Amino acid sequence: MSPDAFERATAYPYRIPIQSFIYRNGEEQPLGRDDALPLLEDRTPVLAVGSNQSPEQLARKFEGEHWGQIPVIRCELTDFDSVFSPHIASYGAIAATLQHAPGVTVTLFVTWLTEPQLVRMHETEISSANYGYGRLNGIRMKCEMGPELDSVHIYNSRRGTLCHDDEPIPVAEIPARNRTWKAMNQLDVQDHVRRRLEPRDDLKTFINRSVNDHERRFARSESLKTGARPFSHPGFTEIPIS
């Protein structure tokens, strides 16, 4: 495995800005409270729970001027947290998902997507069948700028939430207040999964096999479903994607 592949797997969820921004063709333009937003009327608000908050990941998905700009607005979401999904992505990372977490306030971002941008995001998020797409209603979310939202669209793991000692594992790189579950960073959770599934491997060997061996990666993800906690919130409705 190349150093770049190992870095991509273990650097997840990548650099996340500390304020709202506009993404366009690999560039980010920070937004202050007095800066004008593009019109949002024809865009769909989609919550970014993991790496979609990062300009680096958006650059992989939306390369080229033809995608136009994407407003990415920082928010605080109450009674939820960003946690790890019990699956391993094709590039070796253990990715994030949302989980109901009463009392916790997590800092995330909302991506406002045009119809072509949303179709492209669907291609990157649900093609593997690990994630479903839907609408989450009845939420409490404060946005740094733009309209206040009481509902938002999300991609959420159909596999549930990766657990340790019967508790979901929050993503340590993503800030939150009032967490009681023990958070792990990407290296921590990779080592946790390695020790659980293949303790004889060192970490680089474990990640290398996740990246290069599809069948092994799938089998590992299937094993991780054992003990996972389903996502359950009365405000969530899945939207089928044809």
Cα angle, residue 154 at apex, residues 170 and 187 outer, rounded to 5°: 30
Number of domains in the chain: 1
- Which CATH number do you get for residue 80? 3.10.490.10
Phi then psi for residue 162, to 5 deg, are -65, 130
Please tell me whether residue 135 adopts helix, strand or coil conformation: strand
- DSSP symbol at 170: B
Q: Provide the pLDDT for residue 3.
A: 65
- Range of 185's domain? 3-238
Residues of the chain with pLDDT under 70: 1-3
Residues whose CB is less than 8 angstroms from the CB of residue 226 and which lie 6 or more positions away in sequence, other chains included: none
Q: Say if strands 176-177 and 167-168 run parallel, antiparallel, or are unpaired.
A: unpaired
**Phi-psi bin for 216: left (phi > 0), alpha (psi -120 to 50), beta?**
alpha
Q: How far apart (Å, rounded) are the C-alpha atoms in residues 156 and 49?
A: 9
> Cα dist. 58→31, 106, 118, 123, 209 in Å?
17, 21, 12, 13, 26
Q: Provide the pLDDT for residue 35.
A: 86
Q: Which of 59, 58, 52, 71 is nearest to 13 (CA)?
A: 52
Answer whether 147's CB lies under 8 Å from 40's CB: yes
CB atoms within 10 A of CB 92: 23
Tokens of 236: 């969530």
The pairs formed by 186-190 with CB atoms below 8 angstroms and a separation of 24 or more are: 186/9, 186/10, 186/11, 186/12, 186/13, 186/93, 186/94, 187/10, 189/84, 189/94, 189/162, 190/9, 190/10, 190/94
Task: Find where tokens 């979901």 sit.
Answer: 168
Q: Provide the pLDDT for residue 5.
A: 87
- DSSP symbol at 220: H
Q: Provide the pLDDT for residue 2.
A: 62
